[in-house]
Amino acid sequence: MNKTILHWSYLNFKDVPMDLFLYEDLEEVYLKENYISVIPKWLLNITTLKFIHLAGNNLTELPVDIYMLENLEFLDVSNNELRELPNTLGLLLHLQQLNVSGNQLTELPAELSTMRNLEHLNISKNQLKRLPIQLSECLRLNELNVSDNAELLHIPERIANLPMLQSLAADRCALIYLPAALSKFMNHVRIFHNTAINYIPMVYERFYQSFYDNRQKVTPMPISPKGLFWIRELETNSRLLLPVGTQSKQASSRL
Do residues 44 and 154 share a domain?
yes
Predicted local distance difference test score (pLDDT) of residue 170: 95
Do residues 130 and 207 share a domain?
no
List the CATH number of the domain containing 98.
3.80.10.10
Do residues 120 and 153 share a domain?
yes
Residue 224 identity (one-letter amino acid): S
Q: Residue 235 half-sphere exposure, CB side, CA atoms within 13 Å?
A: 4
**Average of pLDDT values for 180-198?**
88
Interior/surface letters 28-39, b for 16+ CB within 10 angstroms, e for the rest: bbbbbbbebeeb
At residue 18, the 3 state secondary structure works out as helix
pTM of the predicted structure, to 2 decimals: 0.83
Mean of all residue pLDDT scores within the chain? 84
Do residues 112 and 21 share a domain?
yes
pLDDT tens for residues 96-132? 999 999 999 999 999 999 999 999 999 999 999 999 9
Q: At 65, give phi and psi (nearest 5°).
A: -85, 20
CA distances from 42 to 117, 125, 144, 174 (A): 26, 30, 32, 41
191 close to 221: Cβ distance less than 8 angstroms: no
Do residues 39 and 117 share a domain?
yes
Does pLDDT of 250 surpass 90? no
**Average of pLDDT values for 6-12?**
97
Number of domains making up the chain: 2
Does pLDDT of 208 surpass 90? no
Confidence of residue 24 (pLDDT cuts 50, 70, 90): confident
Predicted local distance difference test score (pLDDT) of residue 213: 38
Closest CA to 236 of 216, 212, 252: 216
Within 8 A by CB and 6+ apart from 253, the residues are: none
Predicted local distance difference test score (pLDDT) of residue 1: 61
Predicted local distance difference test score (pLDDT) of residue 207: 65
Predicted local distance difference test score (pLDDT) of residue 205: 75
CA distances from 242 to 178, 195, 200, 201, 210 (A): 12, 13, 6, 9, 12
Do residues 15 and 121 share a domain?
yes
Find the domain containing 211 and state its range: 202-255
Does pLDDT of 233 surpass 60? no
Do residues 67 and 109 share a domain?
yes
33 close to 56: Cβ distance less than 8 angstroms: yes
